[in-house]
Amino acid sequence: MKIICTDNFDRETRSDKLICENVNEYYGNEIAIFLNDKFSGDHSDDFYKLVEDGHKLYDSSVIY
């Protein structure tokens, strides 16, 4: 599993960022909760979440 940082407001102009990978699910959930408590919030641009290893990061510079 991996932890990524996404846009808290779901804007298409911001790419996802990889924070860490090869994380155990239990510890990954705890880390994501900690990161959101410490560095995110209602007015923050960032939101941290745990995703599967196969999750493809969103890249705003790629035209689909």
> How does pLDDT run across 4-57, given as a tens digit for each residue?
999 999 998 999 999 999 999 999 999 999 999 999 999 999 999 999 999 999
Specify if 60 maps to a domain: no
Residue 61 has pLDDT above 90, yes or no: no
Query: What does the pLDDT read at residue 62?
Result: 80
Specify if 64 maps to a domain: no
Q: What CA–CA distances, in Å, run from 16 to 42, 61?
A: 18, 11
Specify if 58 maps to a domain: no
Prediction pTM value: 0.89
- What does the pLDDT average to over 56-63? 87
Please give the Cα distance from 7 to 1 (Å, whole number).
Answer: 19
Residue 64 has pLDDT above 90, yes or no: no
Specify if 59 maps to a domain: no
Split into its structural domains, the chain has a count of: 1
User: Which residue matches tokens 């007015």?
Assistant: 43
Query: What does the pLDDT read at residue 25?
Result: 97
Both tokens assigned to 33: 């909760």
Please give the Cα distance from 15 to 43 (Å, whole number).
Answer: 18
Q: In what order do the strands lie in the sheet with 46-51?
A: 17-21, 2-7, 46-51
Specify if 25 maps to a domain: yes
